[in-house]
Chain A
Amino acid sequence: MRKPRILVVDDEPGFTRLLKLMFKRYEICEENDSVRALETALAFRPDLILMDVIMPKLDGGNLAAKCRAEVLLKHVPIVFLTAVVSRNEAGEEPKQIGGFPFLAKPISPAALERCIQGYLPAA
């Protein structure tokens, strides 16, 4: 059985690097350039996409919309990770914003794990 695939789109290389190191049981693909993210996603075919909101050039909202427009990515769940909202606002469990769940940065690895488990399609 193959590992679930997760695409992480964030302009912070440090964050994606550590995230990949943290969640070794998943196959994680890092993408630090949001403009290239769609291409990467189409090639990588992830089961879940974790996405930052505020990124230079192309922000998370627009990227998510582009993903939704692709047949291959249409049904891939997307979870936003953003530093714009506070943890008090977002809470530990994901809430919805524009139809997408989101989590506030910084986030504890345990909460992120729970979130990933919750949104990964049943294997």
Chain B
Amino acid sequence: MQDGRVPEAGLPDSRSLPPLVSASSSRADHIRLVCSLLAAAIGVVTLFGWLTGMEALTSLRVRYIPMAPSTALAFTLLGFAVVSHARTGWPRVAATVCTGFVALVAVAKLIEFFTGHRFGFDELFVADPEQFGLVRKGRMAPLTALNFLLATGALHCVMRPRWRPYAGIIATLVTAISVVVLLGYLHGTPFLYGGSVIPVALPTAVAFFFLGCALIAASGQDCWPLRPLNGPSAGSLLLRWFLPVVIAGTIVNDYLQTRFVVGSRFNPALISALATFAFALLISAIISQVARIVGRRIDHAEAERNAAQEATKVLNADLELQAVLADLTQSHEELKRAQLQLIQAEKMQSVGSLAAGVAHEVKNPLAIVEMGLGCLMSQPDLDPESLGLVHREMKEAVSRANDVISNLLDYSSSKELDFRTSNLHLVVERALHLARHEFTNRKITVVRSLAGDVPPCKIDSQKIEQVFVNLFTNACQAMPHGGTLTVTTAVKSLTAEDVLWAAGDRSGSRFRLDERVAEVKVRDTGSGMDADQLARVFDPFFTTKPTGQGTGLGLTVSRKIIDLHAGRLELANAPEGGAVATILFHLR
């Protein structure tokens, strides 16, 4: 916590720390409390032992050196300090005072050890102590004093945010020293026993172990040595499992070896081998168990990660799909706009070609009329023959112009129809009758193939008659050297092909699959039409006939009439040659 923003005076330092993971934080706090209370309790019990003369309370075993009363007092004070340092108010002040006091005592003891000078602090408790080997009982050991100095230093660091990272390191050192001493006791060969230096008592080592643990817990999980153990990472997880197991295993194995191998009645090698085997077995069992648990967690995490990845993938795919959809929608809109523009352009072109057609078809007869008038006016003395020619040409020109205009009017005003239930065959016959001169002149044979079951249709018979006359006239003109004109009628159900045939045609939607319709076919034995002619055959003023013989409006008007009947008029080349016009009428 290298924190430049020093907390306000009087506030507990822990408050300036960022909140830790609450569960593990409270667990560390718990350990701190329990361990420091245990250390303090050992101190209190030892003091009680000294006061009552119960030696077992001060040394745990009679042949071991007892804990000095000054040491016991120091543990009591430090235990209290570790408990209360995180609080506010007087407990914190008291903790600071206690820490300072213990540090002073420790420094004094070290000075005593190195200089031989006596401050007489231990003498306050035990004025005339018994001997324990070369040393005297009731005196604080130098190693104990050193460890106290380290412990107070650690606590001091805990209470200073900026120094707290060092608290864990120092506290670990305190614990390590206590462990070394404890291991000596465990092996039956206590550290420094038999020498002139006061050894560390067993309860002292135990109390230091607890105090060290409390200080490590107090140093916080964001500092070494707790930091690597903390957190959800796989490394921390493994460390949390393996570290205690390995330490405990090693210590137990060590203890067993020293206890049973040394001075045993059995073969030491055998015992040693057995102990090693048992240890290996124990460690393997523990590790396999740990691996199972940790492995399961790793597998679980892996599965979660994969699921998350899949979810991300699906999400990405979804996003991509949405982008594509947006693209398509935009394209569709653009296409629709383009289509509308195209339709508009086509309409304008149609209007344009209509106007140009009208101009050409009407102006040419007008030019003849004007030229004729010019002749009559400039040459009053024309011979009768020439006069007749002028009259004829002018009359014909006027008639042609009139035809063009009438057809155009038909084209534009054919919206008003007079629908009546009529016999289609009668209409066909009337049209054939009207066109009979054409057939005779061009030596055309008419073949009728009329079905008997065609029911009456609701049509404007005059307009339909006009359509038939148009179709017959066209057929005749397609056969200048004679031929056969076949009129076929039938009632049929529309096949998928018939409906498909209408795709792209605006009349396509008018007919449904399997619908019963009346069909009239007009087929000639002429030369048929090429693709270009077929494509333009319904365009206004499109004609293949010589000038003056057709207005190019016949089929345009015919289709218009059939459209108004919600029917369909199509022109195609017949498979057997010639052209065939097909008309479909609804039967309803």
Contacts and interface: CB of A to CB of B under 8 A. Distances in A.
Interface of A: 11-12, 14-15, 17-19, 21-22, 24, 54-56, 81, 83-84, 86, 104-110
Residue with the highest number of chain A CB atoms closer than 10 Å, among B368, B371, B378, B547: B371
A104 B366 CA distance: 11
* Size class of the B contact interface (CB-based, 8 Å): 20 to 34
B386 A56 contact: no
A105 B366 contact: yes
Contacts of A15: 364, 367-368, 371
A21 B373 CA distance: 11
A105 B369 CA distance: 11
Nearest to A54: B360
Contacts, number: 75
Interface stretch (B53-61, B389-397, B434-442): B389-397
B393 A105 contact: no
Contacts of A86: 359
A22 B379 CA distance: 8
Nearest to B386: A21
A12 B548 CA distance: 8
B547 to A, nearest CB: 4
A107 B386 CA distance: 21
Interface in B164-200: none
A18 B390 contact: yes
Contact of A22 (B366, B374, B547): B374
Given A15-B367, A17-B389, A105-B367, 14 more contacts: A12-B547, A17-B393, A18-B372, A18-B374, A18-B389, A18-B390, A22-B374, A56-B546, A83-B359, A83-B364, A107-B370, A108-B370, A108-B374, A109-B378
Contacts of B547: 11-12, 55-56
B7 to A, nearest CB: 97
27 contacts: A12-B367, A12-B368, A14-B397, A14-B548, A15-B367, A17-B389, A21-B375, A21-B379, A21-B386, A54-B360, A56-B546, A56-B547, A83-B360, A83-B363, A83-B364, A83-B367, A84-B360, A105-B363, A105-B364, A105-B367, A106-B369, A107-B367, A108-B370, A109-B371, A109-B374, A109-B378, A110-B374
A14 B368 contact: yes
Contact of B393 (A11, A14, A104): A14
Contacts of B370: 106-109
A107 B370 CA distance: 7
B345 interface: no
Contacts of B363: 83, 104-106
Contacts of A17: 389, 393
Cβ-closest 8 pairs across A and B:
A109-B374, A83-B363, A106-B367, A105-B367, A106-B370, A18-B371, A14-B393, A106-B366
Nearest to A18: B371
A21 B389 contact: yes
Nearest to B373: A109
Nearest to A87: B363
B356 interface: yes
A18 B366 contact: no
Contacts of A109: 370-371, 374-375, 378
B360 A22 contact: no
Interface in B523-566: 546-548
A107 B367 CA distance: 6
B516 to A, nearest CB: 43
